């Protein structure tokens, strides 16, 4: 019986974001989020048009257009042909979207029982839901998690990202005990591959050897099980030395 639905018309393109009350579309939020994540991955270096085209699944021409627009709105620092970084305003929006994405992922796994390989596409939708109060209550309902089901840190309500110091398993010396803390690839195929070998967040790992034959990693899992994983897998497992 509830009818009052009008807002959604406007909402489709633009809505008054709860971040600083700026008008911002889903699409713009997405670009800012992707710029944030790629910048982080490149240690703060500028992100290129082609990289953005790849990750937004659009063409470079479309990206150029959008960058001009985001620069006009002062969400990004844009030097033509040189790539972009986020401004403070752009970063706050990106962090707000990432916060919502990761909180919803926790919800999907912890409350609804989804696997960590099933949640990405749903969280991609939920991350754009615009309600500060909802985000706050969801955060409390989930008991203020600091990490999502992939081990990624969740920014707080003020946009502060917990600092983490993960290393790739491939960079850990032989026989060093480490704890599995995250993954740097989120593809369902990769995550399911880990599931099959019972490699989960929080498990103990030790590299016993690197095979001369195929550079695969011989591991000891939870001080118990011996297994081999490919170099590719070892490079995408994020770990931390115990008690540090």
Partner DNA sequence: ATATATTTTTAGACTAATCTAAAATTTTGT
Partner DNA sequence: ACAAAATTTTAGATTAGTCTAAAAATATAT
Q: Which residues bind DNA (CB under 7 A)?
A: 9, 12-14, 25-28, 48-51, 56-69, 78, 80-83
| Both structure tokens of 146 | 């600091």
Which 3 state secondary structure label does DSSP give 190? Answer: helix
Name the residue among 193, 234, 190 with its Cα closest to residue 211: 234
| Both structure tokens of 106 | 């926790």
Residues 6+ apart with CB under 8 A from 2: none
Which of a second copy, DNA, none binds 173 (CB below 5-8 Å, type-dependent)?
A: none
Comparison of 167 and 184: residue with beta carbon closer to a second copy: 184
Measured CA to CA, the distance from residue 91 to residue 32 in angstroms comes to 7
Query: Which range touches a second copy (CB under 8 A), out of 8-16, 67-75, 194-202, 215-223?
Result: 8-16
> Does position 74 bind a second copy by CB under 8 A?
no
- Residue spans of beta strands (DSSP E) within the chain: 15-16, 23-24, 76-79, 83-86, 167-168, 177-183, 204-210, 217-221, 225-229, 237-241
> Does position 189 bind a second copy by CB under 8 A?
no
Q: Cβ 126 to a second copy, closest distance in Å?
A: 6
Q: Cβ 37 to a second copy, closest distance in Å?
A: 5
| Both structure tokens of 22 | 């700026």
Question: Which is it for the CA torsion 85, 86, 91, 94, positive or negative?
Answer: negative
Measured CA to CA, the distance from residue 193 to residue 229 in angstroms comes to 10
Q: Cβ 226 to a second copy, closest distance in Å?
A: 29
| Both structure tokens of 149 | 């089901």
Measured CA to CA, the distance from residue 121 to residue 216 in angstroms comes to 31
Q: Cβ 15 to a second copy, closest distance in Å?
A: 9
Mask: binding to a second copy, 85-124, rule CB under 8 A, as x and -?
----------------x------x--xxxx---x-xxx-x
Which of DNA, a second copy, none binds 66 (CB below 5-8 Å, type-dependent)?
A: DNA
- The DSSP letter of residue 143 is T
Q: Cβ 52 to DNA, closest distance in Å?
A: 8
Q: Which residues form the interface with a second copy (CB under 8 A)?
A: 1-12, 25-27, 30, 33-34, 37-38, 40-41, 55-58, 101, 108, 111-114, 118, 120-122, 124-126, 129-131, 133-134, 137-138, 141, 150, 152, 182-184, 186-187
């Amino acid at each position: 019986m509830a009818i009052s639905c009008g807002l959604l018309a406007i909402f489709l393109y633009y809505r008054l974001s709860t971040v600083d009350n700026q008008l911002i579309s889903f699409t713009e939020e997405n670009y800012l989020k992707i710029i944030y994540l790629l910048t982080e991955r490149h240690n703060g270096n500028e992100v290129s048009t082609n990289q953005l085209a790849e990750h937004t699944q659009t063409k470079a021409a479309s990206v150029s257009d959008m960058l001009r627009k985001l620069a006009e709105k002062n969400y990004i620092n844009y030097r033509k042909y040189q790539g972009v970084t986020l401004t403070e305003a752009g970063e706050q929006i990106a962090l707000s979207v990432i916060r919502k994405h990761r909180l919803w992922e926790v919800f999907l796994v912890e409350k609804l029982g989804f696997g960590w390989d099933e949640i990405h596409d749903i969280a991609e939708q939920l991350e754009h839901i615009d309600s500060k109060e909802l985000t706050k209550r969801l955060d409390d309902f989930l008991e203020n998690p600091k990490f999502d089901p992939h081990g990624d840190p969740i920014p707080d309500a003020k946009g502060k990202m917990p600092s983490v110091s993960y290393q790739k398993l491939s960079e850990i010396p032989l026989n060093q005990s480490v704890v599995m803390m995250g993954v740097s690839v989120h593809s369902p195929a990769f995550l399911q591959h880990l599931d099959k070998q019972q490699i989960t967040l929080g498990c103990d790992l030790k590299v016993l050897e690197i095979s001369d034959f195929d550079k695969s990693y011989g591991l000891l899992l939870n001080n118990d099980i011996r297994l081999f994983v490919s170099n590719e897998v070892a490079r995408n497992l994020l770990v931390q030395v115990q008690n540090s």
